[in-house]
Structure 1
């Protein structure tokens, strides 16, 4: 499905901001330490390769932090597409049993048959009003598209 075929697309707002800020902080901190390795007299001889490696570690850790910007949920006629940090899954409407947000949970979940669920990291409790609006819109689209037991 192309981007136009989805009725709803949600990403976490606060988690993405925190992840970007953490990534920037990691790059700045590691690059600063890399530059200062040769300046401070520690008794250890650091080479240029050590400085490059230290900065590279900062960029690597920043990339890991930016994985937290990936979660997304899209809802459309063909079903619910849930993308978390490492995986993406399309759940067809005949398998969707609802969207729940248990008390104390950090994120929502799509309920599927046999008391199983798929976490939806894109709808997080720390987003508050944004999360509430996303859940309400999801449920209205579920009512529109879901297949009932007698359909």
Structure 2
């Protein structure tokens, strides 16, 4: 199953999932932050406020905007890649690989924001790439992971 946007790929032995809506929202937020900080930086020296702003202050303001825009784009980085050997989950800032023998099930509890891998001892690991706001895309991703889990669990 390859959906029309290309952000879920399911072949017989590999599943790759990326979030959809959060990518658009992160991009819009990053663009808005960058626009606001560049505009403020350009207007710093055009008005007499009693404070002396230098070119370095303008550059610093733009730099802050770039850093905040980059931080907003971090929300677009989650990904899940599963194959016969296990599942690799990349969330924001952390990544982890599980073998299928470590995973009890793939679940998406009612009211949860993200799907998760159920692990032994009542632990779980959230998969931020599979989000409730993606609706049908998330359902297809969970089903594909469950099929792969069932087929490859030792």
Q: TM-score scaled by structure 2?
A: 0.90
Q: Which residue pairs with 2:22 in the alignment? A: 15
Give the whole-Å Cα distance in 2 for the aligned partners of 1:40 and 1:6.
Answer: 62
- Unaligned 5+ segments in structure 2 are 1-10
Give the whole-Å Cα distance in 2 for the aligned partners of 1:131 and 1:89.
Answer: 20
How many pairs does the alignment contain?
144
CA RMSD of aligned residues (A): 1.4
Q: Which residue pairs with 1:125 in the alignment? A: 132
Q: TM-score scaled by structure 1?
A: 0.92
Seen in structure 2, the aligned counterparts of structure 1 residues 127 and 98 have a Cα distance that, compared at 3 Å, is same
Contact 2:13 2:148 in 1 (8 A): no
SS in 2 for 1:119: strand
**Structure 1 position 41, deviation (Å):** 2.0
For the pair 1:101 / 2:77, whether they are aligned, the reply is no
Give the whole-Å Cα distance in 2 for the aligned partners of 1:76 and 1:5.
Answer: 9
Q: Which residue pairs with 1:41 in the alignment? A: 48
- Unaligned 5+ segments in structure 1 are none
Seen in structure 2, the aligned counterparts of structure 1 residues 144 and 55 have a Cα distance that, compared at 3 Å, is same
Give the whole-Å Cα distance in 2 for the aligned partners of 1:27 and 1:68.
Answer: 16
SS in 2 for 1:104: coil
**Structure 1 position 6, deviation (Å):** 6.0
Flag as ranges the 4+ runs of structure 1 deviating above 3 A.
none
Matches within 5 A, 1:1-150: 7-147=14-154
